[in-house]
């Protein structure tokens, strides 16, 4: 493996691991929601934390899994024109449109980073009974932005390589649909 290859697989590994880990948040959401219902109807004592904590978790779940979804080609696109082109043309178009991807993600990191910084500086808390600190719920957005940015860079490098060599990597050609076909 050369150096580029190592960097690419490192990016993949990072997002794969983060995604696999973050996926477990759904288990917590499920149990805490069920607990909330039981606490309300059986013990007659609704919790003040369940829904609010889950809201923050949803934010982390979504933000941090962005790169993981990109790794697995789960972000849907319109590929009606796309699939008609040759490998090289497709790589070229991906490189072209990646400008817009980076624009979006960089603005997101920049602005949500500023928002998280503000929450830290002013020690913001939620205006609920829980008075939860808002910094953790806000900082996951720029962090998730960095993860998806990283994966986007990896994708860009791969696309450039395809454009130069004209060969599509076998392992990168599997979105959620294709994989399912192989599984069955």
Partner 1 sequence: MSLTLMTVLLFAFLLALLALGLPLAFCFGSVAIIFMIWQWGPQALFTIATTAFGEWNNFILIAVPLFILMANLLERSGVAEELYEMMYRWMGPLRGGLAMGTVVICAIFAAMAGISAVATVTMGLIALPSMLKRGYDRLIAVGCVSAGGTLGILIPPSVIMILYASLTGTSVGKLFMGGVFPGILVAALFIAYIGIRCFIQPHLGPPVPKEERYSRAEKLASLKAVIAPIILILLVLGVIYFGVCTPTEAAGIGAFGSLVVLFINRRFTWTVFTDSLARTCRLSAMVMWILLGAKSFSHVYIALGASEMVYNLLTGLEINRWFFVIGMQLILFIMGFFMDPAGIIMICTPVFVPLIAKLGFDPIWFGILFTINMELGYITPPFGFNLFYMRALAGPMGVSMQDIYRSIVPFVILEILGLAIIMVLPQLALWLPQRMIGG
Which stretches of the chain bind partner 1, using CB under 8 A? 19-20, 22-24, 26-27, 29-34, 36-37, 41, 51, 54-56, 58-59, 61-63, 65-66, 68-69, 72, 74-82, 90, 93-94, 96-97, 100-101, 103-105, 107-108, 110-112, 114-115, 137-138, 141, 176-177, 180-181, 184
Planar angle of CA 174, 22, 28, nearest 5 degrees: 130
What is the smallest separation between the CB atom of 75 and partner 1, expressed in angstroms? 4
User: Which residue's CB is nearer to partner 1, number 68 or number 161?
Assistant: 68
**DSSP letters spanning the chain:** --HHHHHHHHHHHHHHHHHHHHTTHHHHHHHHHHHHHHHHHTSS---SSHHHHHHHHHHHHHHHHHHHHHHTT-S----TTGGGS-HHHHHHHHHHHHHHHHHHHHHHHHHHHHHHHHHHHTT-B-SSSS--BSHHHHHHHHHHHHHHHHHHHHHHHHHHHHHHH----STT---HHHHHHHH-
Which CB atom, from 3 or from 184, has the smaller least distance to partner 1?
184
* Cβ-based nearer residue to partner 1, 115 or 157: 115
- The least distance separating partner 1 from the CB of residue 114, rounded to whole angstroms, comes to 7
- The first and second tokens of residue 87, run together, are 């490998």
**8 vs 147 by CB, closer to partner 1:** 147
Cα separation, 3 vs 41, in Å, equals: 59
- CB 87 to partner 1: min, Å: 13
Choose between 6 and 41: whose C-beta lies nearer to partner 1: 41
Smallest separation (angstroms) from partner 1 to the CB of 5? 25
CA gap 115, 48 in Å, rounded = 25
Query: Is 5 or 131 the residue whose CB approaches partner 1 more closely?
Result: 131
Minimum distance from residue 25 beta carbon to partner 1 (Å): 8
Least Å distance, CB 51 to partner 1, is 6
């Amino acid at each position: 493996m050369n150096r580029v290859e190592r960097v690419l697989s490192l990016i993949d590994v990072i997002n794969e691991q983060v995604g696999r880990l973050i996926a477990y948040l759904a288990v917590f959401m499920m149990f805490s929601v069920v607990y909330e219902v039981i606490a309300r109807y059986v013990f007659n004592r609704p919790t003040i934390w369940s829904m609010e904590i889950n809201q923050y978790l949803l934010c982390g779940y979504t933000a941090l899994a962005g790169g993981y979804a990109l790794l697995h080609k789960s972000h849907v696109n319109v590929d009606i024109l796309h699939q008609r082109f040759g490998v090289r043309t497709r790589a070229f178009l991906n490189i072209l449109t990646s400008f817009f991807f980076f624009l979006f993600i960089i603005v997101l990191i920049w602005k949500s980073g500023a928002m998280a910084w503000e929450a830290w500086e002013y020690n913001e808390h939620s205006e609920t009974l829980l008075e939860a600190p808002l910094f953790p719920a806000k900082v996951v957005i720029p962090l998730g932005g960095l993860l998806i940015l990283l994966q986007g860079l990896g994708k860009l490098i791969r696309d450039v390589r395809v454009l130069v060599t004209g060969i599509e990597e076998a392992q990168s050609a599997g979105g959620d649909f294709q994989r399912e076909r192989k599984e069955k």
